[in-house]
């Protein structure tokens, strides 16, 4: 840009994103975003080219989960945003921060129905159900305030996607330089009265229990402190896995589909729910019964009065509130911890008895994987049966070691999400768990991994069917339809995308394959077949 020439809105926006710490954007350029991309030409922000807009948003999701920073997408109007909608809705459901910046048609054409290229009657209406807020920019000077508002959501509220659309003529307008970033005051703090009331209930409890979700993942040490002080079993959602180390005797894990774990919750006289919706998604539709007094800590005030209204409602960041409770309990004497640990042990044993032959095979494979992968490995699961077994059976030392699209339940998540995670944490070992049908939803993103030199490991569990759906048909006595599609040769397909590809048919082969894949320079697909000897 020549000296003394004001930047365009697109260029100024990139400088503003730099000030907010954005270092990567995921997207696909199009004729409606060229002026936005002008700003990338001399920016340190890295652009990652996806092969489908859904893949771009899934990558942004994986990047956000592992880095703690919002994932950012650059998308065109119309098909760009509709293609990405499933992945953005997934991020909304799982409270993942994402900034979706799209173009939209020229200001003078909006709402007129003239048949402009990529025209939607109301693009904001498309994304309204799955964004924290959306906005349409009509003047460049509106942008700094909207970006600030977006980061207020990411920093101080329940972190969810924000969609901001900018008309192509506005992107090209010259603006006055000097747009500055401003951060929010941070998340809400708990009131002293609410903490006092929570302590009163916990102090009288004889069978307390902690129910921890993804909102508590940065409060793990405080959650552990509370659990140990009051002898409370800890049940987690899928997003809350790793709240306690896997071998901790108070850790019941994410085993809520088990009747024994549901009973553990029902028998508690006080339940401390931290950063969780208490959703039936985590119980697979089994009724969740909370009979004891409920204490809820949540950054989203709507959660405090929904179908599980709280006796004590604490509107606050989970970390701030949990630490306040843990510190106040510092000199407390625990209840009968041996009895609490025994209840957890019985629930764990009862859960193990519910596993079928396929799940036990998954479990053997997953145990082998964990023995041969570094302890700090992060696993990214798809909506596939081996991942369902993984989040119930795998043990983790810390939170945020297992990512799964549990909230919205989207197929095709794992492959692009693990690529985004690699770019967000270049040194962290990563393994994706996917299935033969789900991986085809986003298989084209193998090309993105090759473009980016992303060293990831994708473990493909091939049962040559939509087996969970087939099982569901059979359980209802319905003849399965559309559950046994033809599959490609995944080995050849992976190699065609420039990946390493390995077919492991038994435990020793998997052990060698995994070690080679984790050390490889580049992406590796390891294919396992359910009929193999594991």
- Residue-wise pLDDT for 358-372, tens only, equals 999 999 999 999 999
Specify the pLDDT at position 4: 57
> What is the pLDDT at residue 74?
97
Structure tokens of 321? 């509130």
Q: ∠52-58-64 over CA atoms, to 5°?
A: 140
- Looking at residue 332, its pLDDT comes to 72
Residues in the chain: 534
Query: Measuring CA to CA, which residue among 163, 152, 175 is closest to residue 38?
Result: 175
What pLDDT, on a 0 to 100 scale, did the predictor assign at position 3? 56
The tokens for 381 are 């699961």
Residue in 456, 391, 447 with CA at minimum distance from that of residue 417: 456
To the nearest 10°, report the CA torsion of 44, 49, 53, 55: -100
User: For tokens 């080995």, what's the residue?
Assistant: 491
Q: What is the pLDDT of residue 346?
A: 95
Domains of the chain in sequence order: 9-171 (3.40.50.970), 192-351 (3.40.50.1220), 355-529 (3.40.50.970)
The encoded tokens of residue 391 equal 């989040």
Q: Residues 200-229, buried b or exposed e (16+ Cβ, 10 A)?
A: ebbeebebbbbbbbbbbbbbbebbbbbbbb
Q: Which residues of the chain have pLDDT under 50?
A: none
In the chain, the largest separation of any two C-alpha atoms, in whole Å, equals 74
- What is the distance between the alpha carbons of residues 142 and 403, in angstroms, rounded to a whole number? 35
**Would you tell me how many other CB atoms lie within 10 Å of the CB of residue 403?**
30
Cβ proximity of 130 and 44 under 8 Å: no
Residue closest to 424 by CA, chosen among 65, 154, 15: 65
CA dihedral (312, 316, 320, 322) positive or negative = positive
Specify which residues 172 forms β-bridges with: none
- Conformational region of residue 451, where left means phi above 0, alpha means psi within -120 to 50, and beta covers everything else: alpha
Q: Cβ distance 243 to 234 under 8 Å? A: yes
Torsion of CA 103, 105, 108, 109, to 10 degrees: -150
Residue 406 CA to residue 383 CA, distance in Å, equals: 8
């Amino acid at each position: 840009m020549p000296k003394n020439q004001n930047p365009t809105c697109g260029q100024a926006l990139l400088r503003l994103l730099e000030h907010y710490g954005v270092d990567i954007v995921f997207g696909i350029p199009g004729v409606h975003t060229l002026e936005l991309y002008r700003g990338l030409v001399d920016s340190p922000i890295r652009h990652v080219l996806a092969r489908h807009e859904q893949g771009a948003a899934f990558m942004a999701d994986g990047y956000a989960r592992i880095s703690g920073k919002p994932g950012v997408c650059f998308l065109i109007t119309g098909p760009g945003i509709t293609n990405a909608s499933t992945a953005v809705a997934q991020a909304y459901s799982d409270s993942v921060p994402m900034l979706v910046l799209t173009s939209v048609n020229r200001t003078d054409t909006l709402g007129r129905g003239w048949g402009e290229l990529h025209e939607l009657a109301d693009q904001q209406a498309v994304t309204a159900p799955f964004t924290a807020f959306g906005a349409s920019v009509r003047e460049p000077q509106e942008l700094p305030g909207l970006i600030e508002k977006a980061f207020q959501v990411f920093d101080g509220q329940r972190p969810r996607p924000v969609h901001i659309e900018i008309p192509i003529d506005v992107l090209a307008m010259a603006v006055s330089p000097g747009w500055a970033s401003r951060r929010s005051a941070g998340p809400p703090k708990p009131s002293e009265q609410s903490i006092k009331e929570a302590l009163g209930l916990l102090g009288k409890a004889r069978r307390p229990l902690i129910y921890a979700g993804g909102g508590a993942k940065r409060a793990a040490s405080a959650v552990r402190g509370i659990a140990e002080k009051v002898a409370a079993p800890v049940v987690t959602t899928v997003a809350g896995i790793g709240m306690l180390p896997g071998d901790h005797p108070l850790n019941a894990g994410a085993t809520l589909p088990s009747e024994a774990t549901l009973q553990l919750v029902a028998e508690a006289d006080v339940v401390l729910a931290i950063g969780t919706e208490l959703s039936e998604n985590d119980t697979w539709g089994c009724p969740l019964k909370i009979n004891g007094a409920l204490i809820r800590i949540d950054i989203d005030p709507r959660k405090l009065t929904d179908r599980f209204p709280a006796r004590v409602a604490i509107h606050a960041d989970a970390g701030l509130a949990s630490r306040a409770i843990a510190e106040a309990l510092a000199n407390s004497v625990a209840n009968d911890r041996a009895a609490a640990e025994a209840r957890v042990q019985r629930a764990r044993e009862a859960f193990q008895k519910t596993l079928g032959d396929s799940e036990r095979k998954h479990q053997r494979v997953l145990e082998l994987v964990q023995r041969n992968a570094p302890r700090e490995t992060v696993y990214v699961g798809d909506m596939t049966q081996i991942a369902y077994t993984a989040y119930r059976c795998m043990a983790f030392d810390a939170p945020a070691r297992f990512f799964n699209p549990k909230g919205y339940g989207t197929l095709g998540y794992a492959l692009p999400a693990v690529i985004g995670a690699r770019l967000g944490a270049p040194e962290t070992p990563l393994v994706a768990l996917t299935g033969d049908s789900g991986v085809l939803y986003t298989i084209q993103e193998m090309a993105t991994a090759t473009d980016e030199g992303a060293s990831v490991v994708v473990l493909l569990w091939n049962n040559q069917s939509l087996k969970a759906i087939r099982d569901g048909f059979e359980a209802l006595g319905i003849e399965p339809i559309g559950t046994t599609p033809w599959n490609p040769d995944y080995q050849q397909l992976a190699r065609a995308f420039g990946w390493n590809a390995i077919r492991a048919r038994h435990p020793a082969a998997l052990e060698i394959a995994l070690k080679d894949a984790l050390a490889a320079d580049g992406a590796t697909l390891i294919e396992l077949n359910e009929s193999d000897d594991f």
